[in-house]
A = this chain, B = another copy of it.
């Protein structure tokens, strides 16, 4: 029986054993964008995780460390060093939470907001340059599909 239907990439066996796997392609693509991020942010700039944590603190002022960790899906214990770094840079402040003496609320400083706006603009500009050969629709589709993957596990 002859094959009449067009075969989709995901069903095509063995063009290369690896190319058909989403995981492999995700990793390779991430490395390209990650390198671009580092170029955008510069030598002593924020690490990706510090950037994300700062973004979260600005978006949700007074959020606790545990809540940031849950939001970013990283470990509570791993967040300590990140917040230490942000605090030493003067971008974020740990403050007591009235009514719960266990928790530390995080507040962005004025410097923190300024630094984030700058970093964000730099990263945005770099991503825009990186994706200059993508149409708006392709980029939207990509973000949408990546989001759909994330939501599988929620």
Q: Give me the interface of A with B, judged by CB distance under 8 Å.
A: 8-11, 16-37, 48, 52, 55-56, 58-59, 73, 116, 120, 123-124, 127, 130-131, 133-134, 136-150, 152-153
Taking CB as reference atom, which chain B residue is nearest A16?
A: B59
Closest Cβ–Cβ distance, residue A124 to chain B (whole Å)? 8
Copies in the complex: 2
Docked Cα-Cα span, A116 to B27, in Å, equals: 20
Within the complex, the shortest CB–CB distance from A154 to chain B, in Å, comes to 10
Contacts of A142 in B (CB 8 A): 22, 142, 145
Interchain CB contact under 8 A, A32 and B150: yes
Q: How far is the CA of A30 from the CA of B36 in the complex (A)?
A: 17
Q: Which residue of B lies closest to A40 (CB)?
A: B23
A112 to B98 CA separation, bound complex (whole angstroms): 60
6 interchain pairs, CB-CB under 8 A: A8-B140, A9-B144, A22-B131, A23-B34, A23-B127, A26-B33
Q: How far, in angstroms, from A147 to B142 measured CA to CA in the complex?
A: 11
